[in-house]
Amino acid sequence: MADTKWVYLFNEVDEVEKKVGKWDNVRALLGGKGAGLADMTRAGVPVPPGFTVTTAACNAYLAEGNKFPAGMWEQELAAMKETEKLTGKKFGDPNNPLLVSCRSGAKFSMPGMMDTVLNIGMNDATAESLAKMTGDPRFVFDSYRRLVEMFGSVVLGIPDEAFEHPLAEYKAKKGYKLDTEMTAEDWKAITETFKAVIKREKGFDFPQDPYEQLRLATEAVFGSWNGKRAVDYRNAAGIAHDLGTAVNICTMVFGNMGNNSGTGVAFTRDPATGEKKMYGDYLINAQGEDVVAGIRNTEKIENLASEMPAAYKEFLDITSKLENHYHDMQDVEFTIERGKLWMLQTRSGKRTAKAAVTMAVDMANEGLISKEEAVMRVTPEQVDTLLHPQFDPKAVDAAKKEGRIYAKGVNASPGAAVGQIYFDADKAEEMAKEHKQAVIMVRPFTKPDDVHGMLAAKGILTSEGGATSHAAVVARQFGVPCVVGASMVKIDLETRQMSANGVVVKEGEWISVDGTTGNVFLGQMPTTAPKLEEQVDLLTLLKWADELSRLQVWANADYPKDAQRARSYGAKGIGLCRTEHMFFEPARLPIVQDMILSDTSAGRTEALDKLLPFQRADFAGLFNAMDGYPVIIRLIDPPLHEFMPDEEKLLEEVIEMRVKGETKGLAEKEKLLASIRGLHESNPMLGLRGVRLSIYMPEIVEMQVRAIFEAAADETKKGIVVKPEVMIPLTGTVKELEWIQPRLIRIATQVMEEKGVQFDYKFGTMIEIPRAAITAGEIAKLAEFFSFGTNDLTQMTFGYSRDDAERNFLVKYVAEGILPKNPFQTLDQEGVGRLMRMAVEEGRKTRPSLEVGICGEHGGDPDSIEFCHLVGNNYVSCSPFRVPIARLAAAQAALKHKPGSSYAEDK
Ligand code: PEP
Ligand code: MG
d(CA 214, CA 63): 21
Amino acid at 658: R
Q: How confident is the model at residue 872 (pLDDT cuts 50, 70, 90)?
A: very high
d(CA 725, CA 815): 41
d(CA 573, CA 760): 15
> Is the Cβ atom of 519 under 6 angstroms away from ligand 1?
no
CA 734 to chain centroid: 41
> Is the Cβ atom of 858 under 6 angstroms away from ligand 1?
no
Provide the pLDDT for residue 783: 98
32-55 burial code (b ≥16 CB/10 A, e <16): bbbbbbbbbbbbebebbbbbbbbb
d(CA 781, CA 553): 26
Of the candidate ranges 193-207, 375-389, 684-698, 701-715, the one whose mean pLDDT is the lowest: 375-389
For 678-746, give the DSSP string. Answer: HH--SSGGGSS-HHHHHHHSTHHHHHHHHHHHHHHHHHHHTT---EEEEEE-S--SHHHHHHHHHHHHH
* pLDDT tens per residue, range 849-866: 999 999 999 999 999 999
CA 819 to chain centroid: 19
Q: How confident is the model at residue 180 (pLDDT cuts 50, 70, 90)?
A: confident
d(CA 545, CA 811): 34
Is a pLDDT exceeding 50 seen at residue 294? Answer: no
- Residue 525 makes CB contacts below 8 A (sequence gap 6+) with 391, 392, 395, 396, 399, 416, 418, 512
- Residue 74 makes CB contacts below 8 A (sequence gap 6+) with none
Is a pLDDT exceeding 80 seen at residue 460? Answer: yes
Burial of residue 341 (number of CB atoms within 10 Å: 0-12, 13-18, 19+): buried
Q: From ligand 1's centre to the CA of 528, what distance in Å?
A: 32
What is the chain's mean pLDDT, rounded?
Answer: 92
d(CA 875, CA 864): 12
Q: At what angle do helices 23-42 and 55-63 cross, to 10 degrees?
A: 130
- Closest C-alpha among 579, 627, 563, 628 to residue 883: 563
Provide the pLDDT for residue 906: 40
Q: From ligand 2's centre to the CA of 854, what distance in Å?
A: 11
> Is the Cβ atom of 49 under 6 angstroms away from ligand 1?
no
Provide the pLDDT for residue 296: 59
Provide the pLDDT for residue 550: 97
Q: How confident is the model at residue 285 (pLDDT cuts 50, 70, 90)?
A: confident
For 161-198, give the DSSP string. Answer: HHHHHHHHHHHHHHT--SGGG--HHHHHHHHHHHHHHH
In the chain, the largest separation of any two C-alpha atoms, in whole Å, equals 110
Q: From ligand 2's centre to the CA of 641, what distance in Å?
A: 16
Provide the pLDDT for residue 865: 98
Under DSSP, the state recorded for 858 is G
- Closest C-alpha among 8, 539, 502 to residue 249: 8
- Closest C-alpha among 444, 442, 464 to residue 453: 442
Under DSSP, the state recorded for 352 is -
Q: At what angle do helices 210-224 and 72-87 cross, to 10 degrees?
A: 120
CA distances from 61 to 72, 100, 469, 888 (A): 10, 22, 54, 45
Neighbours of 708 (CB within 10 A): 31
Write the residue with the smallest CA distance to atom 3 of ligand 1: 789
- The alpha carbons of the chain give a radius of gyration, in whole angstroms, of 34
Read off φ and ψ for residue 375, nearest 5 degrees. -65, -35
Intra-chain end-to-end CA distance of the chain, in Å: 35
Query: What atom of ligand 1 comes closest to residue 473's alpha carbon?
Result: 8
> Is the Cβ atom of 791 under 6 angstroms away from ligand 1?
yes
Q: How many helices and strands in the chain, by DSSP H and E?
A: 38, 33
* pLDDT tens per residue, range 84-141: 999 999 999 998 899 999 999 998 877 656 678 889 999 999 999 999 887 889 989 9
pLDDT over 70, % of the chain: 97
d(CA 41, CA 17): 14
Provide the pLDDT for residue 529: 66
- Closest C-alpha among 510, 533, 530 to residue 521: 510
- The length of the chain, given as a count of residues: 907
Q: From ligand 1's centre to the CA of 249, what distance in Å?
A: 60
Of the candidate ranges 76-90, 556-570, 668-682, the one whose mean pLDDT is the lowest: 668-682
* pLDDT tens per residue, range 768-814: 999 999 999 999 999 999 999 999 999 999 999 998 888 789 988 98
Is a pLDDT exceeding 60 seen at residue 1? Answer: no
> Is the Cβ atom of 789 under 6 angstroms away from ligand 1?
yes
Active site residues: 470, 855
Q: From ligand 1's centre to the CA of 864, what distance in Å?
A: 16
- Closest C-alpha among 903, 900, 865 to residue 380: 865
Query: What atom of ligand 1 comes closest to residue 787's alpha carbon?
Result: 5
d(CA 206, CA 95): 21
**CA dihedral for 383, 395, 428, 673, sign (positive or negative):** positive
> Is the Cβ atom of 578 under 6 angstroms away from ligand 1?
yes
Edge-to-edge strand list for the sheet holding 459-462: 405-408, 519-522, 510-514, 416-422, 439-443, 459-462, 482-484, 410-413
Of the candidate ranges 268-277, 371-380, 633-642, 706-715, the one whose mean pLDDT is the lowest: 268-277
Report whether 580 contacts 638 (CB < 8 A).
yes
Provide the pLDDT for residue 907: 34
- Residue 404 makes CB contacts below 8 A (sequence gap 6+) with 521, 522, 523
Please list all protein residues whose beta carbon sits less than 5 angstroms from ligand 2, which is an ion: 768, 789, 792
Report whether 840 contacts 873 (CB < 8 A).
yes
Q: From ligand 1's centre to the CA of 792, what distance in Å?
A: 6
Q: At what angle do helices 536-548 and 353-366 cross, to 10 degrees?
A: 70
Read off φ and ψ for residue 53, nearest 5 degrees. -90, 130
Q: How confident is the model at residue 223 (pLDDT cuts 50, 70, 90)?
A: very high
* pLDDT tens per residue, range 130-154: 998 878 899 899 999 999 999 998 8
Residue of 476, 635, 768, 803 best suited for mutating to test ligand 1, as the one with most atoms within 8 Å of CB: 768
> Is the Cβ atom of 790 under 6 angstroms away from ligand 1?
yes
Is a pLDDT exceeding 90 seen at residue 450? Answer: no
Under DSSP, the state recorded for 636 is P
Which alpha helices (DSSP H) does 402-497 contain, by range?
425-433, 451-456, 470-478
Provide the pLDDT for residue 809: 92
* pLDDT tens per residue, range 583-617: 888 889 999 999 998 888 899 999 999 999 999 99
> Is the Cβ atom of 268 under 6 angstroms away from ligand 1?
no
As a whole number, mean pLDDT of residues 427-447 equals: 92
Read off φ and ψ for residue 72, nearest 5 degrees. -65, -50
**CA dihedral for 164, 170, 173, 177, sign (positive or negative):** negative
d(CA 315, CA 318): 5
* pLDDT tens per residue, range 65-75: 999 999 999 99
Burial of residue 753 (number of CB atoms within 10 Å: 0-12, 13-18, 19+): exposed
Is a pLDDT exceeding 60 seen at residue 820? Answer: yes
d(CA 483, CA 736): 38
As a whole number, mean pLDDT of residues 27-49 equals: 94
- Residue 460 makes CB contacts below 8 A (sequence gap 6+) with 413, 440, 441, 442, 443, 446, 454, 471, 475, 480, 481, 482, 483, 484, 513
